[in-house]
Structure 1
Amino acid sequence: MNLSLAPSATIAEQLAAHFQALDYDSLGNASRKALKRLLLDYLGVAVSGSQTGPGRVAGAYALSTGGRPEAALIGGSSRAPAEMAAFANAISSHSVELDDIDVLALFHFSPPVYSAALATAEQRSASGKDLLVSLAAGCEMMERLSKAANSSLRDRGYHTTPTCGTFGATIAAAKMLGLSADETVSALGLAGAQAGGLMEMYGPSMQKRFNPGPASRNGVTAATIAQLGFTGAATIFEGERGFLAAFTDENFPERLTEGLDQAYQFDIEFKPYSCARPIHNAIDCALEIRKRHAPDLKKISRILMERHPDWAHYHQNAKPLTYHEAQVSLPYSVAVALSDGQALFAQYDNARLTQPELRRLAAAVEITVDETLPRGVSCRMTAIMEDGTRHTAQVDYPKGSIQNPMNDAELRAKFDSLVIPVLGQERATAIADCVADIEHCGNVRDLMALLQPGQEGLAA
């Protein structure tokens, strides 16, 4: 489609033409590196998440539906239809709260997008180069829609990862399946018919883990059925009853198409701590105070936590009952960071939640609003000792952010810590080596076989 000849093209039509034209050569080195770093991180997190309760249930459900064994269930020995593999792997990759995050801490790229791209890549025995293009398209689509819809989308109670992730997964699958521009327009319309996901997900249940699953599955469904000839609304974004009108009170539709003629910049952040991203600043404050002052934890009487209004009213539960609740609890996360000097998955084990000292420290946290803090995730923490001594730290850019990044060695250490306990050192090394050289992988199924115990790459 030549957009210069179609000035009245809808947003979906403009995006479809843009993504259909995207190819490997148009991806710069910086984009390729960013996408590969995220691929390594996603696979590590998904392997670990596959061993959790939500991951195991999702895998069992995927297999219970039957169908052709088209794609691997990460961390297990079975294969499932592409749609169901995307569903289960998306849930696994969101089940230890270590998945990536965007710069505004609103959504996770990889659970919906990477799960859909990998499942459809296996379905058609695609190459590593094809995979990178699919990942790039899906991530760009997801972030463009988030920028157009937020923060109103979030403030109305919708979870950005599944709502916008459905469209990202759709474009990733559409690119992988080779849809035409017209088919891609229909796929986007059909993605809108399936978009959803609520922020009513915090609590002792597994619900938060579920949200990326339908998004990834629905993206594969939208692309697949559009390719078979099912048509969808071309006005799905800007229409009178379209996505932006339905999901937001304030929106910026121009952000969906601005800069389409320029290389897209992927600002992907990574999580060193096993909890919700807006809590990471508070953890970094606690770790800084611990390192700098080594306070006697028994003598901390109060912990003042000033937060930006964007996130001040979230994550306040000081008495989590399960690790699901603990991973979205700022008070508990601060307490365990002060106590252990880290906040990995082990720190959120259910057995830790009732420890008296952690309970006391969590109860000492007082959250207040400070509109002068510079960023939505900014935190300023003050630990007040019994003798009145005050220890203060402020963190605006948490570890893993663009401004305070995890380097390649740190990402690899994170990956190894997640994969080796499940698949062993030899397999972890093979996966990392394959990801590093993914451009030369002739069949993505070779990579995915390495993610399954007892399986070997097809080229081996």
Structure 2
Amino acid sequence: MHQPLEIEMSQAPESRDVDPEITKTLAEYSTGISFDDLSAEAVEASKHCLLDWIGVTIAGLEEPLTQMLIEQAEADGGQKQASIVGDGRRVSTSQAALINGSASHALDYDDVQTRLQGHPTVPVAPVVLALGEKDGASGKDVITAFAAGVDAECRIGAYIGMSHYLKGWHSTATIGTFGAAVGASRMLGLDSEKCALAMGIAGTQAAGLKSMFGTMCKPLHAGKAAQNGLFAANMAARGFTSRPDVLERHQGFAHTQTEATDIPAGLLGLHERFEVRDALFKYHAACYMTHSTIEAIHNIQRKANLVPDNIDKVEVTVVTGAVDVCGIPTPSSGLEGKFSLRYCAAIAINGDDTARLDTYSDEMVKEPHLVDLLNKVTVAEKDSLERMAAEVTIHTKDGVVHYEHYDAGIPAADLDAQWDKLVNKFRACVDPVLGNEKTEKIIDKVKHLDKVDDISELAALWA
């Protein structure tokens, strides 16, 4: 008789095949860069991301999901180590990462990055700022850790490729967990070996389904990515074990989460370019994949001054796969409206302010004149379009056809102009909550963040 096969279940197969030591490479790079290694544009772009993040977090403070998380944190208790942004109450760093990360994504008004295929700042900023506040870290420390975390997650996103996202995984949640772990590792002063282990602990927690878009679970993804990444780094610091090759290992993250990897894309320009520079910012309070449609319609409106009553039909074409992200045909809530190309086209045609948060209210999506416009919009997909682009064709009742192509996936060339736009957005988000004086002080503090000796100076302003 054959003897039963004995398998040592604690030993997973070794790394295989195509991508040797990419986890180690990224861990060494992330823990090795210093503030002085960052380009001036990377430092400036980091400030842009952090200012925008603080603004959208404060704007999301009163959202029901944020308040539920705060209530749960108060019920759980814990050490008062870091503040809830815009509120001032102090909770543990873990709770702060969860609450602030979720609040910052609650309105879906935060930045995006195409190589991540998601939102780069929301998993990383809550972690580095909470740890910075707790430990009295400098602005330079926070900027460096933030840039390192964003770099890691965006490079992993490029390495993993689009099939991960297209399959139904929310990259902000899954890959963002690695960014949070790397950012936390930098703040905690972990070496590259411990950072790689933290990435392993992060990878085995990474989760988040796109089927949850339009519900409270989508912003929760960002908060859990931040919280889980922080937990991973804290555990690695304590000696918790994991695999140091989680990205490339057989049955590791890439093996289970993507159809094909692209290591040259993941390591593109390592030590030469910084992913944070390519962050894209939202000036419409909806899913970023609706922005090209909105901008195309705005361009047509500027040229033709269309009257909504004269619209016969509207044809929107987006890249294949976009409908799975923002294709809710008839939204029943304001949150669903943010993920509806048809609704976003309707409000753009109607001339509603697409930057205003209340444009995406439960009441607005049911307005009869908007529903009438929405029903005139059809959405199609095309393989050849750029990732973030859209084509819009508007037919009027008098037989005129208007066409516009727009690509919102191109990073801003003028950082000074981008800062000015973000300052205006920040004021709109924060003035109603904290008042003008604190708003202007936060803007100034972030602008000069690399001169700040203790990040608690910034945290004191958002209380």
Whole-Å separation in 1 of the counterparts to 2:243 and 2:267: 18
Summarize deviations over 1:380-420 as a string: whole Å, max 9, x none.
1111112222122211236x843698622111000000000
How many angstroms does 1:434 deviate by? 0.6
Decide whether the 8 Å contact of 2:116 with 2:156 is kept in 1. Answer: no
Answer yes or no: is the 8 Å Cα contact 1:183–1:231 preserved in 2: no
Equivalents in 1 of 2:326, 2:460: separation in Å? 38
Aligned to 1:90: 101
Which AA in structure 2 matches 1:262?
A: E
1:370, CA displacement in angstroms?
A: 3.1
For residue 267 of structure 1, report the CA deviation from its aligned partner. Answer: 0.7
Residue aligning to 2:10: none
Checking the alignment, whether the CA contact within 8 Å between 2:116 and 2:153 is kept in structure 1 is no
Match of 1:359 in 2: 371
Partner of 2:157: 146
Q: 1:225 aligns with which of 235, 243, 253?
A: 235
Map of 1:169 onto structure 2:
180
Query: Which among 418, 421, 424 is matched to residue 413 of structure 1?
Result: 424
Is contact 1:397-1:404 (8 Å) kept?
A: no
Aligned with 1:368 (options 360, 377, 380)? 380
Aligned residues: 442
Shift of 1:123: 2.0
| AA matched with 2:317 | E
- Which of 254, 258, 269 in structure 2 is aligned with 1:248? 258
**1:219-368 correspondence runs (5 A):** 219-265=229-275, 266-344=277-355, 345-368=357-380
Give how far 1:137 is off.
0.6
Write out aligned runs for 1:63-212 (5 A): 63-103=74-114, 106-203=117-214, 205-212=215-222
For structure 2, the 5+ residue unaligned runs are 1-18
- Amino acid in the other structure paired with 2:243: A
Within 1, Cα distance between the matches of 2:273 and 2:259?
30
Amino acid corresponding to residue 337 of structure 1 in structure 2? A
Give the AA of the match of 1:217: Q
Contact in 1 for aligned 2:335/2:361 (Cα 8 Å): no
- Aligned amino acid, residue 59 of structure 2: S
3-state DSSP of counterpart to 1:383: strand
Contact 1:104–1:376, Cα closer than 8 Å, also in 2? no
Question: Where does structure 1 differ by over 4 angstroms across 4 or more consecutive aligned residues?
Answer: 403-406
Q: SS at the partner of 1:369?
A: strand
Cα distance in 2 for partners of 1:75, 1:233 equals: 38
Answer whether contact 1:308 1:379 (CA < 8 A) is retained.
Answer: yes
**What residue is the counterpart of 2:57 in the other structure?**
46
* Structure 1 residue 151: Cα displacement: 0.3
Partners of 1:149 and 1:9 lie apart in 2 by 14
Cα offset for 1:77?
A: 2.6
* 2:404 is the alignment partner of 1:393: yes
**Local SS of the residue matching 1:395:** strand
Structure 2 residue matching 1:350: 3-state secondary structure? coil
- Paired residue for 2:9? none
Residue 438 (str. 1) matches residue 441 (str. 2): no
Distance 2:307 2:300 in 1: 11
Q: In the aligned structure 2, how far is the partner of 1:85 from the partner of 1:79?
A: 8
Whether the aligned pair in 1 keeps the contact of 2:308 and 2:350 (CA below 8 Å) is yes
TM-score by length of structure 2 reads 0.91
Equivalent position amino acid for 1:99 in 2: D
Report the AA paired with residue 360 of structure 2.
Answer: Y
Residue of 412, 420, 430 corresponding to 1:402: 412
Letter in 1 for 2:254: L
SS of residue paired to 2:28: helix
Which ranges in structure 1 are unaligned for 5 or more consecutive residues? 1-7, 453-460
Q: What code does the residue aligned with 2:260 have?
A: E
180-189 vs 88-97, which moves further: 180-189
In structure 1, distance between residues paired with 2:127 and 2:38: 20
Distance in 1 (CA, whole Å) between partners of 2:426 and 2:129 is 18
Determine the C-alpha separation between the residues in 2 that align with 1:148 and 1:17. Answer: 17
Structural RMSD (CA): 1.8
The 1:225–1:347 alpha-carbon spacing in structure 2 relative to 1, beyond 3 Å, is same
Asked if the contact 1:310–1:376 (Cα under 8 Å) also holds between the matched residues in 2, the reply is: no
Stretch of structure 1 that moved more, 217-226 or 405-414: 405-414
Deviation at 1:441, TM superposition (A): 1.1
The one-letter code of the counterpart of 2:362 is N
Given the alignment of the two structures, is residue 61 of structure 1 paired with residue 72 of structure 2, yes or no?
yes
Deviation at 1:190, TM superposition (A): 0.6
The 3-state SS of whatever aligns with 1:200 is helix
Structure 1 pair 366–156 and aligned structure 2 pair: CA distance change class (3 A): same
The change in CA–CA distance for 1:180 and 1:105 in structure 2 (over 3 A counts) is closer
The worse-fitting range, judged by mean Cα deviation, of 300-309 and 107-116 is 300-309
Q: Deviations over 1:268-318 (max 9, x none)?
A: 110000000010000011211222212221121211112222424542223
